[in-house]
Structure 1
C-alpha cells in the first residue's frame, strides 16, 4: 500500500478574514461621514442659531447701509414776503475709489464729464483707494450730475443735497450772511438762526449692491424735519434804495467805506442795513474777508457832533438848561481849555442851547458838558446804549466803548461833549436817535418782523419832543444840514457830524468820518436813519454835504414806499415853488451855505 501525499486543506480562514476588514473600513467611512454630517449640522446650527446675529450683521455691513435723508433749509423772506435766501436741490458725485480704479480706462471719460483734469482725478483716487467714499464734485446742477451718472462707470454714485441761493446778491449779503458747502450758517442771520433754518435730516436703511447702487429701501429710521422759514424786518425795496445811493456816494467821493441803517421808530425793526464794500454771497470764495464784515455792527467810530443831542438830553434833564436858555458864550470861536484848543469853524458869539445844535458848536457843547454833573452825563450816555450791546442778536455785534464816568478827566469830559473819546457802532447811533424820535422810549433793534419789544423809557417824553424840535433846526436855513438833508413835503430832524479819524499818535488832519443821523417826519417820527461815509477823498468831507444827501434820497423813497403822509406841504423844499418857511419867502429855496460855512462841527478833538 503506497503512501499518499498529504495535501493541506484550503486556507479558507484568511479569505474569511477579508470580510470583517472591509466592514471595518466601511464603518470608518460611515463614521467619518456621520461626524462630518454632525459637524455640518453643528456648523449650520452655529451659523443659523448661535451666531446668527454676528454673521447677519457682517452681511448687513456689506450690503445694508444707513443713508441720510436731506432736508431743505428754511427760506428767508423780507417783511413783504419776497424771498431773500432759498435752497435749491443739487447733486454731489461721489466714488468708491477702488472700484473706479478697476476700470481706470474710463477715468478720462469721467474727468471730462466732471470738468476736471484726468491725471489729477486719477491721482486723487489712487491716494484715497483705501476709502469707500470720496466726493468728486459737490453741488452740481442735477442735469449735469445726471450726465455723469448716465456714464454707468462702476463705483460712481450721486447724492442729493441742497444749495443756498441769494436772489438779492450783494445788496443783502451783510445782513443774511451765507452758508458753507454743507448748508450750515457761517455768518449773519444764517448763523444766528441756523438751528431754526436747518431742520433735522432724516435717515433710512437701504440695501446696496456691490456697485453701491440702492436696490431696496428697507425702512425709515427717522423722518426728516424740514427747516422753518424766517420772515425778517428788512424791506427789500428800501434795502435796494440804500444800497444804490450809498454806492453812488462812495464812488463820487472815493471813500473807503460806508454804512447806513434804517429803523422803524415805533418797533425798533431794522428796515435796511447796508455796508460797502460788499460781496456776493453766491460766490463767497471770490470775496475778501474785509468785504464780508458787517461794518454797521462790528466797526466802531467816534461819532463827532452826532453825539450832541445826547449831551443835550443830559443838559435838559439836569434842569440847568432849556432849549432857549441860558445863553452860551462861544465868542471868538475858540476855547483854550487845559492847554487844548476847542474851536468852531466860525465865531458864533452867544448861542442858545438850540443854537449849539443848529450851528453844531464844539465850544458851546464843551461849555455845557463842563457844567453838568459827571454822573448824570455818564448815565445819560450809557442809557442811550453807548458802551452796551443793542441786544439785536446779530453775531459779532460789538458794544463799542465808553469810559467809566468816575475816571473822566476834565478835558476828557469836555471833548466827550462833542463826540470824541468814545466809540459807537452805526446801529447804536441809529438806535439812540430812534429813542429820541419815540418820545424817549428805547427798543432793542430786531431783524425779525413782529419781534418788537415794549421798550423802556430813557428820558422824559417832554425832553424828547424838545430835542426833536432842536434837531429840526439843523435842516432849516442856517443849519449845518440845510438844504442837503431836506425832503420835499416832509419835515426832517437830524444832526451832522464830521469827525477826524484817530491814527497812531493822535488824530489825522486829512482823514474824516462824515455822518448824518435823523428822523422823518419830524412832527411825528416814523423812520430813523444813520449814514456814515468813511474817509471821503474827493469833493467835500463834511457830514452835511456827504451823508446828508444820502439820507434825503433814501428816506424820500422810503416814505413813498411806506405811504407815510407828508407833514410839510406848502413850506420850503428843495427845487419847490413859492413857499414860506421860518418867515422867509421867495420862489426858490435859500441858497446853500458856502462850503466853508456848512460844517460847524469840523473842529478837532
Structure 2
C-alpha cells in the first residue's frame, strides 16, 4: 500500500491522451471537411447552377442599352429650300454626387456654363440625393466641348438635335414648333410628328457603377432618320406676303391680319402669312396669340366678299342672266323686323353693277326670288361648314346654318355674307371654282406631284360670267381700284364686316377683306387678304386689304413669270 501511494499512481484514473485525443481529432477533421465541402458546393452552385442569373445581374450593372437619337426630317418649300431643319447639339448633365466640392473647379464650371456660382451650388445641393441633373440643354457642340474640356468629375455630355427655322417668324404659324425633346407641339410639326420623327436606334455600351460610359460595344439598331416633308409653299412668295402684311398691319394700327394665296390651277397653298407672329428660334416672351394660324383655325363672318359666290349659285339655278336688272331704290328695305341698307340709292343695277356697288338690296331681292336654298347649298358644295382636309391641327369647319325655319331676313343675310362663318383658307379655296371653270380644287399644304381634277360645283359658263363681273369690280373708278396690278387684269371683291363681341356687333370695330383672282385671262393665283380692326383713316376692305393684294399679287405674278394680259387703260389716257 505504501509503495503505491508514494509512486503517485491512482488505480481509479486512466492515463490522459489516446482515446479522447483521437475523438477530438476526428471531430475537428470532420468539421473542416464539411466546411470545405460546403465551400466547394457553393462554388459549384455559383458557377454552374446560378451562373446565368449572376451573369445577367452583372451585365445589368455594367452593360446598358442606350438610345441613338434619330435625325428629324427636314421640312422644305416646293423648291427644296429648307424651312425647318435639325442641327446637332449637346446636352450637359451631371451626377451631383460625383461633382467635387473643390471651389476652383466649381468656379471654372459655372463660368463655362455661363452660370452664377451661387446658382450652380444651389442646384447641385438641391439634387444632391440624386444621380442625374441637367446642367444645360441643347448647347452648340463647340460650347459644350469647352465645358467638357475642363474634365470636371461627374459632368457628361449627351448628343441630341435641335430644330432650327431659317425663315423665322415668316412661316411660324404654318410650320409650328417642337419642344426641347424635338417633339412637334404646333402646326405641321405636330400634324406630321410620326413621319418627321423617325425611329431612334439602339446601342450596347459598357458603363461603370456611376453610369459613366466606359466603352461602346455594338450598335443593335441603326437610327432611322425621319421623312422629309415638301410643302406647297413657295418661300419667295411667303417672304413677300409676310412683309407686305406686316407693313399693312403696322400702317393701319390693326390687331392683326392674314394673307393666303393659292395656285388657281392646283389648289396648292403658295403663301400663308399671319400677324401677329413670333420667332420660333427664340421664344422668350412669346405671346400665345402669335401661335395661332388664323388662316386655318379662325372662322370669320365674311361679309360682301362672298357675294360673287351667292351670285354664282343663283345664276347656276337658272332664271337669271348677267343682263337681269334689279331696282335697288330707295337704298333700303325692311325684311321681317330688320332694315337692310346700301351706302346710297343706286337705282337700277344689273348683276355686274350689284357686285360692283356691293348692293345688299340687290342681293336680297335676287335671293328672295327663290323657293329653294340655292345659296347655302352652293356654300356647302364649296366646302363651307366642313373641314378643308389639310390635316392641319385645329382646322376650323366654319358654319353654314341648317335650312330649318329660316326667316326671309336670314335668307337674305346669307347672300351678302352675314349669318355664316368661314376661314380665309375656305374662302380662297371656294374661289378656285370661279377661277377654274367651275371646278372646286381642295386646298393642299403639300406639293402635289399629280394634277387634281377637282369637283364641278357650278357650270363653266356661270364661272366665266362671275369672273367677268368680278373683273369689272376692279376698275379705276370703283371702290376696289387699289387692288389693280399694273400689266394684269384682276378680278376681285371687297368686304367690310363689323366684329362681334359678347354683346353682339361692336361699334367702330371692323375687319376689311379682299379676295382676288389674277390674271383674268388665264387665272394663276387666288388670294385672300384680311386686316383685323384697322384704326387708321379707313377700315373698308377696298382701302386696307385691296392695296395689300395689289402688292402681293403683283410680286407673285412676276416671280411666277406669268405673262401680262390686257392692261386696264384709264379713260383719260
Give me the TM-score of the superposition, normalised by structure 1.
Answer: 0.90
2 CA distance for matches of 1:446 and 1:51? 63
- 1:111 matched to which residue of 2? 110
Map 1:513-524 onto structure 2 (within 5 A).
513-524=511-522
Match of residue 199 from structure 1: 198
Q: Which residue of 1 aligns with 2:69?
A: 70
Equivalent in 534, 537, 560 of residue 535 of structure 2: 537
Uncovered stretches (5+) of structure 1, i.e. residues with no partner:
573-579, 588-605
Provide the residue aligned with 2:254 in structure 1: 255
What is the match of residue 422 of structure 1? 420
Offset at residue 12 of structure 1 (A): 13
CA-to-partner distance for each residue in 1:398-423, whole Å, 9 max, x for gaps? 11111102232111111111111111
The answer to whether the 8 Å contact 1:321/1:353 transfers is no
Residue 343 (structure 1) aligns with: 341
Give the direction of change, closer, same or farther, for the CA distance of 1:407–1:478 in structure 2 (3 Å limit).
farther
- Structure 1 segment 84-95 matched on structure 2, within 5 A: 84-95=83-94
How far apart, CA to CA, are the structure 1 residues paired with 2:37 and 2:142?
Answer: 59
Q: CA deviation at 1:13?
A: 13
**DSSP-derived class of the 2:65 partner:** strand
Change (3 A) 1:5 1:530: closer
- For 1:73 and 1:407, locate their aligned partners in 2 and report how far apart those are by CA, in whole Å: 53
Unaligned runs of 5+ in 2: none
Aligned counterpart for 1:403 among listed residues 397, 401, 407: 401
Please report how far the alpha carbon of residue 21 of structure 1 lies from its aligned counterpart in structure 2 after TM superposition.
4.6
How many residues of Structure 1 are paired with residues of Structure 2 in the alignment? 571
1:98 maps to 97
**Residue of 335, 346, 351 corresponding to 1:353:** 351
For residues 299-351 of structure 1, the C-alpha deviation after alignment (integer angstroms, 9 at most, x for no partner) is: 121111001011101110121211111x1011222222223221111221100
Alignment of 1:256-405 (within 5 A): 256-325=255-324, 327-405=325-403
How has the CA–CA distance of structure 1 residues 24 and 566 changed in structure 2, closer, same or farther, with 3 Å as cutoff? same
Q: How does 1:483-562 map to 2 (within 5 A)?
A: 484-562=482-560
Residue 61 of structure 2 aligns to a residue in which SS?
helix
**C-alpha spacing 1:454/1:45, structure 2 compared with 1 (3 Å):** farther
- Alpha-carbon distance in structure 2 between the residues aligned to 1:43 and 1:285: 64
Moved more, 166-175 or 342-351: 342-351
- Stretch of structure 1 that moved more, 126-135 or 311-320: 126-135
**Equivalent position of 1:58 in the other structure:** 57
Q: Deviations over 1:210-232 (max 9, x none)?
A: 45332222333322111111111
SS of corresponding position for 2:99: helix
How big is the shift at 1:566?
Answer: 1.1
Q: 1:9 to 1:248 in 2, by over 3 A?
A: closer
* Alignment check: 8 A CA contact 2:259 2:527 kept: yes
Which residue is equivalent to 1:131?
Answer: 130
Pairwise CA distance, 1:528 = 0.4
Q: 3-state SS of the aligned residue for 2:169?
A: helix
The CA deviation at 1:103 is: 6.2
Conserved 8 A contact 2:262-2:526: yes
- Where do residues 398-477 of structure 1 align in structure 2 (5 Å cutoff)? 398-450=396-448, 453-477=452-476
Tell me the distance in 1 between the aligned counterparts of 2:12 and 2:180: 93
Secondary structure in 1 matching 2:497: strand
Deviations 1:518-566 (A, max 9, x none): 1111111110000000111012211111111111111111111111111
**Contact kept in structure 2, 1:79 and 1:234, CA below 8 Å:** yes
Identify the residue that residue 143 of structure 1 maps to in structure 2: 142
CA RMSD of aligned residues (A): 2.3
Q: Distance in 2 between matches of 1:541 and 1:84?
A: 34
Conserved 8 A contact 1:103-1:154: no
TM-score by length of 2: 0.94
Checking the alignment, whether the CA contact within 8 Å between 2:375 and 2:414 is kept in structure 1 is: no
Please list, as runs of the form range in 1=range in 2, the aligned pairs for 1:229-240 lying within 5 A after superposition: 229-240=228-239
Which whole-Å CA distance do the structure 1 matches of 2:297 and 2:13 have between them?
Answer: 112
| Superposed displacement of residue 138, structure 1 | 0.9
**In 2, distance between residues paired with 1:122 and 1:338?**
75
Distance 2:287 2:329 in 1: 50
Contact 1:486 1:492 in 2 (8 A): yes
- 1:310–1:384 CA contact under 8 A, matched in 2: no
Q: Does residue 153 of the first structure (1) align with residue 125 of the second (2)?
A: no
Post-superposition shift, 1:240?
A: 0.7
Give 1:261 deviation, angstroms.
0.3
Secondary structure in 2 aligned to 1:221?
strand
For 2:142 and 2:25, the matched residues in 1 are separated by: 71
Question: What is the match of residue 577 of structure 1?
Answer: none
Cα distance change, pair 489–4 in 1 and its aligned pair in 2 (3 A)? closer
Q: Tell me how far 1:268 sits from its aligned partner.
A: 1.0
Q: 1:280 to 1:13 in 2, by over 3 A?
A: farther
The answer to whether the Cα contact below 8 Å between 1:93 and 1:135 also exists between their aligned partners in 2 is yes
C-alpha distance in 1 between matches for 2:159 and 2:225: 15
**Is the Cα contact below 8 Å between 2:249 and 2:534 reproduced in 1?**
yes
Q: In the alignment, is the contact (CA less than 8 A) between 1:515 and 1:532 conserved in 2?
A: yes
The CA distance in 1 between the partners of 2:547 and 2:18, in whole Å, is 124
The verdict on how the C-alpha distance between 1:564 and 1:20 changes in structure 2, with shifts beyond 3 A counting, is: farther
